[in-house]
Amino acid sequence: MPYSNPNSNYTKTADYQQSIFSNLGMSDLAYNSSSNEYTADLWVDSPPVIPANFDGIWYSNHPKITWSANTEPDFDNYIVYMKSVSVDWHQITTTTNTYYIDYGQSQYLGRPNIKTNIYYKIKAADTSGNTSDYTNDERFAVNAPLFKKSLDGADNNFPADYRVGKSFPNPFNPMTTIAYDIPIRSEVKVIVFDITGRPVYQEYYEKPAGFYSLAWRGNNNSGQQMPSGIYLVRFEVTGVEAREGYSGKSGLQVTQKIILMK
């Protein structure tokens, strides 16, 4: 890359080279007397490319992720990340292999275990600390971790089982409330249908074990008020984490009729 000769009282010295190019990532400065120009090799420290062919399979009932090797000469390692329903993305290890097996997780094969989903993704790193973008993520259905009791062994603060109470008041205007209990961490989906079966309102979230209530104010998800009439409220609750001492149901589906009167 050519650069014009700056001033005649400057000479081609190491100090001059450093003063001009040290902040530009350039080296090997050379002066061409015939063209009266300096030339330099430009060195760009590019990050690694995203590891290719990222995939997930089972290995003896344990999650295994695989990918193709990076070929950069300054490649250093791969960084493995995981998330679960209760813990966001976090680094779990580094490796120079093109696979990783998580022996701490086991494939969900049915009751009495509780199913939960975990996810993996990776990125490549080089010796300068540069990293690639993440791969896509791979999902595995595994046995949920066991939720421990408190030190004194008490678990009286948890519901004994799943329960969805009756809406109150019913008929209602402008709001009705439905209490519900979940004995283990669960995914909760609530859908309100009109009399034709069309969904008009939905809520979806994950909650730890506890006692809760849903308040519906007769509106759709856009905030618009619904007309008077009969509506059906469906609860779909699925456990995602086991708890020591609990051996009851792993979920619940309940539908009840409510009446909005204006």
User: End-to-end distance of the chain based on CA atoms, in angstroms?
Assistant: 78
Q: Highest mean pLDDT: which of 6-10, 33-37, 250-254?
A: 250-254
The H-or-E segment that residue 31 falls in is strand 26-32
pLDDT for 112 equals 63
CA-CA distance, 8 to 18, in Å (whole number)? Answer: 18
Question: Cis peptide before 159, with omega less than 30 degrees from 0?
Answer: no
Handedness of CA 176, 177, 178, 184 (dihedral sign): positive
| pLDDT-based confidence at residue 10 (cuts at 50, 70, 90) | very low
156-176, pLDDT tens digit by residue?
Answer: 567 888 989 889 899 998 889
pLDDT for 168 equals 86
- The secondary structure of residue 262, as a DSSP letter, is -
Judge whether 187 and 238 are in contact, CB under 8 Å: yes
CATH architecture of structural domain 55-144: Sandwich (2.60)
pLDDT at 236 over 70: yes
pLDDT mean across residues, the chain: 81
257: left (phi over 0), alpha (psi -120 to 50) or beta: beta
pLDDT for 24 equals 45
Q: Which CATH class, in words, describes the domain spanning 163-260?
A: mainly beta
pLDDT at 211 over 90: no
Name 23's Cβ contacts closer than 8 Å, sequence gap at least 6.
none
CA-CA distance, 134 to 139, in Å (whole number)? Answer: 15
CA-CA distance, 76 to 96, in Å (whole number)? Answer: 7
The torsion angles phi and psi of 10, rounded to 5 degrees, stand at -90, 140
pLDDT for 114 equals 74
Task: Domain ranges for the chain, please list them.
Answer: 2-42, 55-144, 163-260
CA distances from 195 to 24, 178, 192, 229, 231 (A): 69, 19, 10, 8, 6
Cross-strand partners of 77: 125
In 3-state terms, what secondary structure has residue 44? coil
Higher pLDDT, 247 or 68: 68
pLDDT at 131 over 90: yes
Higher pLDDT, 133 or 42: 133
pLDDT at 125 over 80: yes
pLDDT for 110 equals 76
Higher pLDDT, 86 or 121: 121
CA-CA distance, 29 to 40, in Å (whole number)? Answer: 4
CA distances from 225 to 107, 201, 218, 219, 228 (A): 45, 11, 6, 4, 9
Matching fold, domains 55-144 and 163-260: yes
Average pLDDT over residues 18-40: 59
Give the tokens for residue 19. 């003063």
pLDDT for 14 equals 46
